[in-house]
Amino acid sequence: LAIIFYSFLYIVCVGLSIPVASYLTLIGGAIFNWLALPVVIFSATIGATIIFILSKSILADYFSKKIIRKYKSLEKGFSKNHFYYLLFLRLIPFAPFFVVNILAGIVNMRIISYIFATVIGIIPGTSIYVFTGITFVELFQNSQIPKFDITSSRYFLFIILLSILSLCPIIFNSLLKKINN
């Protein structure tokens, strides 16, 4: 019952773009241990898909006016290759999660591509947050003060490498176009 409530809360927070998902993920790791990982990935994807669909349909005009002006460069990136660009933004969050959800809808990304890029892209970061939540419990039990700097994480290099890897198809495609022209 606690997992269902937690998942529902997570979906609502992401769906309404309330910026507490990082904290919820840490709490999930602390309470549910590694079981939080699939729950968070599922819940975050459902919540993100809700705002994605809304930005594609009934809230498209509203979001276009509010978001596009501020994030014009991201819109250009989406126009080149939706899937890989979203994957990159999920792996290395240059823009807030909710903004990326909205932009993907505004630029008419296909829902299947959106869901797969979201799931694949949030796995590394979510794993780190869940692991950190699990570690917090251990540190607090041993009366140690945790360090909150993600760049000191042993997984930081792994995320950077995955992000670069996600850009390889776009870079390769652009190089091929230059060679062919």
User: What would the pLDDT profile of 8-18 be if each residue is shown by its tens digit?
Assistant: 999 999 999 88
Cβ-contact 12, 47 below 8 angstroms: yes
pLDDT for res 111: 93
The DSSP letter of residue 154 is T
| Reported confidence tier of residue 50, pLDDT bands at 50, 70, 90 | very high
The chain-wide mean pLDDT, for the chain, equals: 80
pLDDT for res 176: 59
pLDDT for res 45: 96
- Helical residues (DSSP H) of the chain, grouped into ranges: 2-15, 21-32, 36-56, 60-67, 72-80, 82-91, 97-106, 111-141, 156-180
Q: How far apart (Å, rounded) are the C-alpha atoms in residues 100 and 120?
A: 15
Q: For residue range 156-181, what is the model confidence (pLDDT) as tens digits?
A: 666 666 566 666 666 666 765 676 66
Identify residue 109 by its one-letter amino acid code: M
pLDDT for res 99: 83
Q: How far apart (Å, rounded) are the C-alpha atoms in residues 130 and 153?
A: 13
- The whole-model pTM stands at 0.74
Tokens 């870079």 sit on residue: 171
pLDDT above 60: residue 151: no
